Amino acid sequence: MGEFLEVYKRDVTFRLRTPDSMDPDRTNENLPWVTSPVAWVGSSHPAIARVLIQSDELISHATLVAGAQKQVVMLHLHACKEALLACDAIANRLAGKVDEIVEIIQSAGLSIDSSGRGLNPFPQVDDLDIDCVAFLVQANRAVKLISQIPSFFLTLSKLHSNFDHLGKALRAEMGESPVCHFVEQQSEFMARIAALRNFQEHPAAAKRTVVRNFRLVPDGSVSVPTWLIAGIDDEPGGAIHLDMEVISKNLVEIAEILVVHLVMQTLNSSFPYVLEQIPDDQANKDLPIRFRLGLDSSKIKFGEARANPPQ
């Protein structure tokens, strides 16, 4: 990955820096290699297995656009993977906070103040707004990075940062195709993420992202934290921790499938490739990739055997 190597165990990621990367002029001949753990997830995480490692194997067989090198593509996918891991980490952290409060409410109920008429203290998720901002920043970053992936495989007039513009560009360039159809199918979902972030960063009177913590609703029940875009969405909004989980998982799948479509669109035609999907029950838990390329043996032509092969 450019100036460093990234190595994965199933549950941890290490980053290795060589003496050359830290000291290009080699002013210190005794400078050691440096190995640092950078994430407590590894090859068993879908974002690493399916967006990075699987793509690395598939792209080796694809025809990239003129001037694009495989390492440049992988650096781009690495940045995408980092954003996806950040989304997943925030989503898991928030889900843990919400589940802990829900469990307390269910087991012990709500605290009543000395007057017997008020709920005090009413449970709240600490730093909810901060978590929402951090998540939407990383999710929106992932959307932009994923939207730019086709530019490495196809001749497009410019980089696109959203799926709506990308879909129009692909249709103008290619017409009907699996990759174009896939992008158009995902445009609404990707636009929703961008809208949540945009109306959070740039709220207006008519439209703004509203984040609500645990609250008491008119029927006397307690609502988990929710969010919505005021002026667009209906009340009561979606449960934030559940929406984050869906967004995190779907972004991984969209990045994965987009790469698969682009590779199939631009495969080296010299070989009869066939795309194989690994059944869920046969997936390797330590490296849960889902797709690999094989050769269609029925289309391979073999030459006649020679009695005296050339020396």
pLDDT in tens, 189-233: 999 999 999 999 999 989 999 999 999 999 989 999 999 999 999
List pLDDT tens digits, range 222-243. Answer: 999 999 999 999 999 999 999 9
C-alpha torsion angle, residues 74, 80, 81, 82 (rounded to 10): 120
What are the tens digits of pLDDT across the range 9-64? 999 999 999 898 888 888 998 899 999 999 999 999 999 999 999 999 999 888 89
Q: Give the pair of three-digit tokens for residue 258.
A: 């987009």
8 Å CB contact between 146 and 166: no
Convert 11-62 into a string of H (helix), E (strand) and C (coil).
CCEEEEECHHHHCCCCCCCCCCCEEEEEECCCCCCHHHHHHHHHHHHHHCCE
Q: Given pLDDT bands bounded at 50, 70 and 90, which one contains residue 109?
A: confident
* Chain centroid offset of residue 100 CA: 26
Whole-number Å distance between alpha carbons of 236 and 230: 10
Between vectors from CA 130 to CA 15 and to CA 210, what angle results, nearest 5°? 135
Integer Cα distance of 258 and 280 in angstroms: 20
Rg from Cα positions in the chain: 25
Average pLDDT over residues 157-181: 90
Other CB atoms within a 10 A radius of the CB of residue 48 amount to 25
Q: CA-based angle 97:51:48, to the nearest 5?
A: 55
Residue 168 CA to residue 184 CA, distance in Å, equals 8
- Which of these, 260, 287, 290, lies nearest to 277 by C-alpha position? 290
Give the global pTM. Answer: 0.90
pLDDT above 90 covers a percentage of the chain that reads: 73
| Torsion angle (degrees, nearest 10) of CA 149, 150, 154, 159 | -80
- Classified as helix, coil or strand, 65 is coil
Write down the pLDDT at residue 272: 84
Helix (H) or strand (E) holding 290, with range, is none
Residues 88, 118: Cα–Cα separation, whole Å = 37
Amino acid at 117: R
Q: Tell me, what's the pLDDT at 127? A: 97
In order of 98, 106, 204, 310, the CA distances from 22 in angstroms are: 43, 54, 47, 50
Helical packing angle, 240-265 and 178-201, nearest 10°: 150
